[in-house]
Amino acid sequence: QIKTNFESNLDLALKDYNVTADQHSEAVDTIQRTLHCCGVQNYSDWERTEYFSQRGIPWSCCKNQNDCLEEDLKNPNKAELKVFVDGCFSLVTSAMESKMSVVAGISFGIACFQV
């Protein structure tokens, strides 16, 4: 349930990205920069957005901010070498799952001590 919601919200955030510079766009940038990912499934998700037709793939996908020109970001073949290619969806969900197992483990450990 959480996964499906997250995926559709991420999809929507990409579609509306920077049409209005809002929290969703900032959240997308933060996720991409922090997790070194780009798009939902992968970086090519951006090609289907309004933003891409104007400016290419967002800067927050760039591996190296100093070596990432707008013309590279507008060309998917060049962009592939300059941006994080992994999608954010699988990274975030696997991060959530690994954290969940840690939380479950800690909860279980505490429960055992209370017996």
What is the spatial distance between Cα 105 and Cα 1, in angstroms, rounded to a whole number?
Answer: 22
The single-letter code of the amino acid at 52 is F
Q: What is the pTM of this model?
A: 0.77
Give me the residues paired with residue 86 across strands: 42
Residue 63, Cα to own-chain centre: how many angstroms?
13
Flag whether pLDDT at 74 surpasses 70.
yes
Contact yes or no for 36/86 (Cβ under 8 A): yes
Interval 20-36: pLDDT, tens:
667 889 889 999 999 99
CATH superfamily, region 1-114: Tetraspanin (1.10.1450.10)
**Integer Cα distance of 50 and 36 in angstroms:** 22
Residue 7 has pLDDT above 80, yes or no: yes
